[in-house]
Homo-oligomer: A and B are copies of this chain.
């Protein structure tokens, strides 16, 4: 999963720039949903017929064209031509990218990573979303249907007299980005809880498989980091664009998104440091355990080895071992053995070995 960007880019090697090839792995059929909205009215249409799309787009008002699934590259290519997108924009929508913002004469293009938490597998999935914002139109491209976009569409359709309807597509654009970044916090919270629970486990009783768990979390944190860091630049750049695409009204909101991105980054860095410290505890716990095992062995050995020697000594078969025939020989030896054991025990007690 994690190196999908790289695989996606490697697959492109040898192809001319601007040639449309979908290099990802999800095989969702393409769905085009059109939304036309003004302060007063709002209409939605779902079609794959380009003529219908074309007719729909000729109507006045704000347009949101949502393309979900990349199976049907043709229709995406036609939409691209309709909106006169640069060949590289079209290519970038279909290829794994680092989050980025490109400014063109008549539109801005943003690629973002979207994270979804898989509750069952306790890991997150990374996908990519492409957004094209022009004057009164917004195109969104994703490799499959997205829940969070559906919610915003429903909100938009729910009625007039709300900011979404009163503002132009730049506010809608902000709302999509905001929803995407809110998802990061959901993933971060889940990961944080995973870290917290592993921490408790490692501190109380370190087991072999914990280190793998730690490693998996470290790896996921690295992936998150790789996805979220470039967002900082993108959102910062967005907040510094001139008024052409983003109104002053929306810019205030984008600044807020920037703060959230920084908060997410801070949290990831903190997770990373915590995971590093947890590896240290784990290692020290292992050595501690080794110490304990060795102490057990040493105590048993040092108690029994000397008295076993004494027993072996009087098991020798020399003829002139007169002490064997002494009346108090046997009890004396027993007493010596007991004293030896007691001496050893006092020694270990002093060393606080048990």
Cβ B185 vs Cβ A13 within 8 A: yes
| Set of chain B residues within 8 Å of A100, measured between Cβ atoms | 259
Any chain B CB within 8 A of the CB of A304? yes
Cβ B314 vs Cβ A318 within 8 A: yes
| Set of chain B residues within 8 Å of A161, measured between Cβ atoms | none
Find A98's partner among B211, B259, B284 (CB 8 Å cutoff): B259
Q: Beyond A12-B182, A305-B305, is A297–B296 a contact (Cβ under 8 Å)?
A: no
Cβ B13 vs Cβ A186 within 8 A: yes
Shortest distance in angstroms between A313's beta carbon and chain B's nearest beta carbon? 5
Among A24-32, A65-73, A130-138, A261-269, the stretch that binds chain B is: A261-269
Any chain B CB within 8 A of the CB of A285? yes
Cβ B274 vs Cβ A222 within 8 A: yes
Cβ A253 vs Cβ B17 within 8 A: yes
Cβ B13 vs Cβ A288 within 8 A: no
Any chain B CB within 8 A of the CB of A290? yes
Chain B residue, CB-CB nearest to A353: B293
Shortest distance in angstroms between A199's beta carbon and chain B's nearest beta carbon? 8
Cβ A302 vs Cβ B312 within 8 A: no
Main secondary structure of the interface of A (DSSP, over half): helix
Any chain B CB within 8 A of the CB of A33? no
Copies of this chain in its oligomeric complex: 5
Cβ B182 vs Cβ A14 within 8 A: yes
Any chain B CB within 8 A of the CB of A282? yes
Any chain B CB within 8 A of the CB of A256? yes
Per-position 1/0 for A317-341, Cβ under 8 A of B: 1111100110101100100000000
| Set of chain B residues within 8 Å of A120, measured between Cβ atoms | none
Find A208's partner among B148, B212, B288 (CB 8 Å cutoff): B288
| Set of chain B residues within 8 Å of A297, measured between Cβ atoms | 294, 297-298, 301-302
A13 vs B100: C-alpha distance when bound (angstroms): 23
A327 vs B263: C-alpha distance when bound (angstroms): 82
Chain B residue, CB-CB nearest to A225: B270
Among A3-11, A36-44, A50-58, the stretch that binds chain B is: A3-11
A161 vs B158: C-alpha distance when bound (angstroms): 50
Any chain B CB within 8 A of the CB of A88? yes
| Set of chain B residues within 8 Å of A259, measured between Cβ atoms | 97-98, 100
- 16 additional contacts, CB 8 Å, given A9-B185, A98-B263? A10-B182, A10-B185, A17-B253, A98-B262, A211-B288, A215-B278, A284-B286, A298-B300, A300-B302, A300-B305, A301-B301, A304-B305, A304-B306, A311-B315, A314-B318, A316-B324
